[in-house]
Amino acid sequence: MRDARSVSGLRRVFGDLLLAGVVVAVMAVAPSVYSNQLLLFNFVMFLTLSQGLNVIYGFTGYLPFGYVGFFGAGAYGFALAVMHLHAPPLAAMAVGAAAALVLAVILTPLFRLSGAYFAIANLAAAQAVYEIVSNPALEDITKGPYGVSLSGVFAPETSYAVSVAILAGTLLLVVWLRNSRFGLSLRAIKEDPISAAMAGVAVVRGRTIAWLCSALIAGLVGGAFAWQISVFYPETAFSAQFSIFAVVFTLFGGAATLTGPLLGVFILYGIYNTIGITVPQYFQLIYGTLIVALVLFLPNGLVSLLTKRGIRVP
Amino acid sequence: MSPDVMPLLKVEQLEKRFGGFRALDGVSFHLAPGEVLGLVGPNGSGKTTCINVISGLYAGDGGQVVFEGQRIDGAKMHKLARRGINRTFQSPKPFLSLTVRENVQIAARYGHAGGAPVDLDALLASLELDRHADRPAEDLNSAQQKTLDLARALATSPRLLLIDELAAGLNPAELHRMADRLRVLADGGMAMLVVEHLMGFIDRVTDRVIVLNAGREIFEGTLAAATRDPDVIRVFLGGAAHA
Amino acid sequence: MLIGAIISGLMFGLYFTLVGLGLNLVFGVMRIVNLAHGDFLMLGSFAAYWLFTLFGLHPLLAAVAVLVVFVAVGLPIYYGVVPRLLVARDSEMLSIILFFGLSQVIEALAAIAFGTSERSIPGRVLGSGPVSFLGQRLPSAWVFGAAVSAVAVACVYLYLYRTRLGTLTRAVMVSREEALATGIDVHRVSAIAFGIGIALAGIAGVFAPFMLGSVTPAMGADINVAAFAVIVVGTLGNPLGTVIGGIVYGIGLMLMQTYLSSWANLLPNLLLIAVLLFRPEGLFGRAVRRA
């Protein structure tokens, strides 16, 4: 009995790893067969951001509507390190990641709020960070609303490779959360924090770890974004679009799974790139309608069509 | 309680206020290993609040709780679980999307209070949950969810178990089996504090009872003696008149 | 300058009360978070703009038209989505996601229909020249907007406390279960409250071109944060507490714009976070913290 369980457990881990490996391999070789590298970067970016959001929303139930705050903190941390410290890009990415982590630590008191208020307060926090970074009074430090130019470190191939590595690390983290005891304890916290505490789970600690991991991922992606495009404005790096897309892709595919957010990105971001760029309103209309329909008819996303029938999806 | 046994739990002058309302107004009692103490009293007399404070769900406003010689009031719930105190909930909230086995695995992994590891298969079998072990907890009916809540608590091998209204919703046969199970656990050395409305259940399970009224203890002794106590009779008839 | 900031802050406070009032009414009655509130406000703005541009209709008449149409639109929206939401395990969280979707739909449709350019209505429509008030000269459009807001708030008060339906509405706000048990048609009461809630947003929208400047289909997101700040500072679920929140917000905004103008945009965000964290029950009322 016990052996059968661990064999099926191993099979599950293997299935998850296989899916993660295929996605990483495809994105890694894609630039050699498809020339629009910026578009590929955007795919990698949203694949990673959606999984990063999945870490906190899927496994703890807290929806960070202001997820872009960490992304922007990462992008500006990178930019400030390059501009003021003349840091090499990888060191600058570490600074960006640290900035996102600091912001996450500052925001941990938000977990005292229940879900809906957490979401709104997090949105307000991301906007507050944007208002600070873009403020003309801080032009000497952040260049205020006028944006930053980092052309000295522009290296699209390298930054693309780094972003694929971040994606790989993020997918591994999600695989681990799905198959480890720690991930199980997070799901217990999500279901009921009081019962979880009485089962001996350190609720605050578990949530905080998931939160910091999620913020770290967004910060790293933000740094890679800054490195990849090298010229940007605060309203680019803090665009609500990043949060919205990450939320929509994750919800559409199905949170707390590995497949769900991946599916969401490949399908919806694929549609966006087909029809959305010239007339973004039509894409907005589509995903807005999808969200309403999902909440009403399929609250656990596309993958729940299979999981409801007892089929395990990676 | 025989004087030569060191008490497992000492509750001294415990107080808890909600705004101006004194839910617990200086409650004190001792509990020895293997002893089962019933907490009875009308609605709002402080029974559940007492369990909530001891288990760390609420912070008390005064008094102290001493467990195995150390003060534990103010400690976090998960730390108390690991020290050997666990509880069931009046309205249990199992981890609905996780399987029954995963529900108890989490508790055994994170909350185990030391001693021999728990055989989870045997635990589930003893509570008649083994047939459902691989089904998500949301498939269970409410009586089974209550039993799973107890299994979650037992998976941590507690030395003190706080039980809040476990019997409500069980049918008479289930009630009997539950009472027998708790007696077996007590005979194995587990101390229990049992809040329950069903006096038949209290009678079968407990060694003695404390009667609470308006956050104060008005009687301590056997249930049989309590039913003859004039103060207790007055409180319960008064409570019945309100209900 | 201080007196001026406080008086104009009071004017704006009344207006921001109106901005938040409908959101709070919906939350109070249904315990759901209408994240499309700001988008209904935007629709009110565009209604006023087009009614004025095409027919020269005075904003006051536009407000009456918006009231009627929005209540009528609110009822089917309520029956279409809210009863399903309320039976879910975490209806507050699901409501925020669903109404976020609805807000995206409204914003997209408005952008497709009206384009994304900024629209405005000349301030002189609401009276020419500044008005003197306690020695301060204020644009007459502000005074007009504040007065309409005050009237709207008073009407909501009269509805809740002086009508039978309002009494039932308050009963549902106290306890939905008890109201159901006593035989109140909870869905009818809630549907009307929902209609009134978005109509209040629409009326606030009619005056937005005068109080907030030009309007665009994308304005809803910022309005939402402001409206949340107002009702959280007041008290969640207590519509009349919104007055306090609105006035604190209005005066705070005017003081920031007077003395720290470059940081004024931070106000709604920081106010919202600070109150949620340090005084989650608002200045008086219900806690939203988790145990």
| Domain match, B167 and B116 both | no
Inter-chain residue contact B77 with A202, CB threshold 8 Å: no
Q: Does C288 score more than 70 pLDDT?
A: no
Specify whether the CB–CB gap between C166 and C160 falls below 8 A. yes
Whole-structure pTM value? 0.90
Examine residue B183 and state whether it is found in any structural domain, yes or no.
Answer: no
- Indicate the residue type of C64: V
Examine residue B240 and state whether it is found in any structural domain, yes or no.
Answer: yes
Q: Is the pLDDT higher at A187 or at B6?
A: A187
Q: Which of A181, A191, A192 sits opposite B109 (nearest CB)?
A: A181
| Domain match, B166 and B55 both | yes
C-alpha–C-alpha distance, residues B151 and B101, integer Å? 10
DSSP run (H or E) holding B66: strand B62-67
In angstroms, the separation between the Cα of residue C91 and the nearest Cα of chain A is 9
| Domain match, B50 and B166 both | yes
To test the contact with chain C by mutation, choose from A56, A63, A110, A131 the residue with the greatest count of C C-beta atoms within 10 A, namely: A131
| Domain match, B80 and B106 both | no
What pLDDT is stored for residue B19 in this prediction? 78
Inter-chain residue contact B156 with A184, CB threshold 8 Å: no
Range of the domain at B149: 90-158
Inter-chain residue contact C96 with A251, CB threshold 8 Å: no
C-alpha–C-alpha distance, residues C30 and B109, integer Å? 40
Residues B144-198 pLDDT 10s: 999 999 999 999 999 999 999 988 888 888 889 999 999 999 999 999 999 998 8
- Residue C281 pLDDT class (50, 70, 90 cuts): low
Q: Could you give the 3-state DSSP secondary structure of residue B135?
A: coil
| Domain match, B114 and B143 both | yes
DSSP string computed for A26-44: HHHHHHHH-S-HHHHHHHH
C111 touches chain A (CB under 8 A): yes
| Domain match, B55 and B167 both | yes
**pLDDT (average), residues A219-223:** 98
Q: Which of A185, A192, A198 sits opposite B86 (nearest CB)?
A: A198
Inter-chain residue contact A115 with C270, CB threshold 8 Å: no
Examine residue B236 and state whether it is found in any structural domain, yes or no.
Answer: yes
Specify whether the CB–CB gap between B196 and B166 falls below 8 A. yes
In angstroms, the separation between the Cα of residue A189 and the nearest Cα of chain B is 8
Comparing CA positions, the residue from B198, B226, B225, B196 lying closest to residue B211 is B226
What pLDDT is stored for residue C123 in this prediction? 84
C-alpha–C-alpha distance, residues B225 and B238, integer Å? 19
| Domain match, B72 and B51 both | yes
Angle at the Cα of C34 from the Cα atoms of A235 and C279, rounded to 5 degrees: 80
| Domain match, B80 and B200 both | yes
| Domain match, B52 and B166 both | yes
Q: Could you give the 3-state DSSP secondary structure of residue A263?
A: helix
C2-278 fold: ABC transporter involved in vitamin B12 uptake, BtuC (1.10.3470)
**pLDDT (average), residues A123-133:** 95
C-alpha–C-alpha distance, residues B42 and B29, integer Å? 19
- Residue B20 pLDDT class (50, 70, 90 cuts): confident
Angle at the Cα of B59 from the Cα atoms of B57 and B60, rounded to 5 degrees: 125
Inter-chain residue contact A187 with B98, CB threshold 8 Å: yes
Specify whether the CB–CB gap between C193 and C21 falls below 8 A. no
Domain CATH number, residue B218: 3.40.50.300
| Domain match, B53 and B121 both | no
The domain total for chain B is 2
Q: Does B62 score more than 50 pLDDT?
A: yes
| Domain match, B27 and B62 both | yes
Examine residue B179 and state whether it is found in any structural domain, yes or no.
Answer: no
Neighbours of B30 (CB within 10 A): 16
DSSP string computed for C235-285: -TT-TTHHHHHHHHHHHHHHHHHHH-GGGTTHHHHHHHHHHHHH-TT-SSS
What pLDDT is stored for residue C210 in this prediction? 93
Residues A42-85 pLDDT 10s: 999 999 999 999 999 999 999 999 999 999 999 999 999 999 99
For chain C, give every domain's residue range.
Answer: 2-278
Interhelix angle for A181-191 vs B100-110, to 10°? 110
